[in-house]
Amino acid sequence: MKEFQLKYGCNPNQKPARIFMHDGSDLPIEILSGRPGYINFLDAFNSWQLVRELKAACGLPAAASFKHVSPAGAAMGIPLSDAEKRACFVDDIEGLDESPLACAFARARGTDRMCSFGDWIALSDPCDAVTARLVKREVSDGIIAPGYSEEALAILKEKRKGSYNIVRIDPDFVPDPVEHKQVFGITFEQGRNNYAIGADQLENIVTANRQLPAEAVRDLIVALITLKYTQSNSVCYAHNGQAIGVGAGQQSRIHCTRLAGGKADTWFLRQHEKVLNLPFKKLGRPDRDNVIDAYINQNEEDVTAEGNWQKYFERRPEPFTREEQRAYLDTITGVSLGSDAFFPFSDNIERAKRSGVSYIAEPGGSIRDDAVIECCDKYGMVMAFTAMRLFHH
């Protein structure tokens, strides 16, 4: 296929729209179902690069959940604990533990379920039936993978009455080393960001504490590769082989750190016994996500308010107070944090500490590096300077 005609571009008024190879060669994809749109393909190609690089760096199957050209979640294929399964709504799936790819997807899709609503999914490996069953029951726009088993494809083709977007990409495709795009009729050209992220980038440890365990190395690699395909400014919290909080596209780095830290906090709070044992009535998965978010964040229209809780619960749940939440979060340690550019102030470290961060990777190079290092030392954190910015626009 030389080109694919799109219904429209980013918005319905932006026509005509198509994807094609500038050199006239065949596209490295095959559309097996549906009709993906302009933004679908932006998410597909960015997310595919992310999972491909995660697999290459860590050696495990990887999955990502993308929305509006930034990841809502990304993860490696590590088995889930019972609490993680329940928090991700996958504790009922047979064969999950036998499929690392399904574990990766469950983690990526289950981390920030509200932001993943209507996502694009990327898989590093051919989709198997267990993963397909997980995908089928989520609200999603489409999926990209290097292949699909016969059973998996049949399962996915049942989604959206047969119109679900399913894309197969050639895993051996190598893009041109020079990229182009246009803005306001003006063409930009740059070399692709082929910077390979791995353990070598974490060797320049600048803090007094230099103990960086293997799990932290893995999690920092997950965070940095996730940031490589996240709209900047961005930071990423990671734990247990998955991105647990992504702060994307903020003009201020502290706002990135707060946004992502709040998401990381929610991920851990979802595993608290009060949340896992909420006495739900029979609700759809998206409704349950919304109620859990409101319960944790105690919004003004609190789901436990008088006359409101009856819509969602068999009985009125106990409140989950701010004091209880803070006490629980204070027990969390071992979280990793990556930043796509240097931290200009130590307030980022102070905020990261509140979400259990013990390990940090950032480029370094700020005139206030000393203050940032001093703050890390105050909390016994380990910080590595990567010397490489990871802006993505």
Strand partners, 316: none
Query: In this structure, what token pair is assigned to residue 272?
Result: 């608290």
Choose the catalytic residue: 55, 67, 85, 157: 67
Q: Is 22 a catalytic residue?
A: no
For 33, other C-beta atoms within 10 Å of its C-beta total 19
DSSP state of 250: -
Q: What is the dihedral of CA 105, 202, 249, 301, to 10 degrees?
A: 60
Query: In this structure, what token pair is assigned to residue 223?
Result: 């965070």
| CB-CB contact of 227 with 236 (8 Å) | yes
Q: Is 233 a catalytic residue?
A: yes
| CB-CB contact of 138 with 285 (8 Å) | yes
Choose the catalytic residue: 2, 22, 161, 393: 393
For 160, other C-beta atoms within 10 Å of its C-beta total 16
Q: What is the 3-state secondary structure (H, E, C) of 277-332?
A: CCCECCCCHHHHHHHHHHHHHCCCCCCCCCCCHHHCECCCCCCCCHHHHHHHHCCC
Three-class secondary structure of residue 67 per DSSP: strand
Three-class secondary structure of residue 175 per DSSP: coil
Three-class secondary structure of residue 83 per DSSP: helix
Strand partners, 30: 168
Q: Give pairs for 363-367: CB < 8 Å, separation 24+.
A: 363/339, 363/387, 363/388, 363/389, 363/390, 364/204, 364/206, 366/342
| CB-CB contact of 365 with 185 (8 Å) | no
Question: 359 to each of 111, 136, 215, 238, how far by Cα in Å?
Answer: 20, 36, 10, 10
Q: Is 67 a catalytic residue?
A: yes
Strand partners, 384: 205, 361
Choose the catalytic residue: 68, 272, 274, 392: 68
Choose the catalytic residue: 40, 46, 165, 233: 233
Q: Among all residues, which ones are annotated catalytic? A: 67-68, 233, 393
